[in-house]
């Protein structure tokens, strides 16, 4: 498999909530210039979702991992907590119902990200997404760091679901 050096674009939902991530050891290659942007670099695991409505249409009970790298790339994986069933007849032989359940309980996206230190926002520029229709969406998040190992993200509505 060959990967291109294109910029990638990212995802989110515009609802009012606070998402708190716990930083795991950083995975980086090239340094970013902005000291605030450098703080994003690493693997962030979701530890809580608070507010009126979750970012994910899957609800509050989810697992999520966001990885920001130093060259400006981002990747996110979101899965429902609980029992995700195997396909009874094997990986490539799922029934329509099994495939629908798998699709409804997991999504992923990747792209690039930009940090606006003055506005305290990070924008995920979605290049590709497991859900149709989410390519090219810019998902803007207000951010705040709580110490060195917690990142708080809150969706900022752009009128397009971003």
Q: Which two tokens stand for residue 139?
A: 């998902």
Give the model confidence (pLDDT) of 61-99 as tens digits: 888 999 999 999 999 999 888 777 778 787 778 888 888
**Segments of the chain scoring below 50 in pLDDT:** 1-17, 25-32, 54, 159-161
Q: From start to end of the chain, where are the E strands?
A: 17-24, 42-51, 62-68, 73-80, 106-116, 121-129, 138-145, 150-155
- Coil vs helix vs strand at 99: helix
pTM, 2 dp: 0.72
């Amino acid at each position: 498999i060959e990967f291109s050096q294109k910029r990638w674009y990212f995802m989110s939902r515009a609802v009012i909530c606070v998402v708190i991530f716990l930083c795991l050891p950083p995975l980086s290659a090239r340094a970013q210039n902005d000291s605030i942007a450098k703080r994003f670099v690493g693997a962030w695991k979701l530890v809580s979702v608070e507010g009126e409505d979750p970012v994910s249409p899957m609800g509050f009970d989810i697992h999520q991992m966001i990885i920001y790298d130093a060259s400006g790339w981002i990747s996110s994986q979101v899965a429902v907590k609980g029992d995700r069933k195997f396909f009874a007849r094997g990986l490539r032989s799922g029934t329509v119902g099994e495939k629908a359940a798998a699709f409804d309980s997991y999504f992923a996206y990747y792209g690039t990200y930009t940090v606006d230190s003055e506005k305290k926002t990070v924008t995920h520029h979605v290049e590709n997404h497991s859900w149709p229709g989410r390519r090219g969406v810019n998902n803007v998040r207000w951010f705040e760091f709580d110490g060195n190992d917690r990142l708080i993200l809150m969706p900022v509505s752009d009128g397009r679901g971003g």
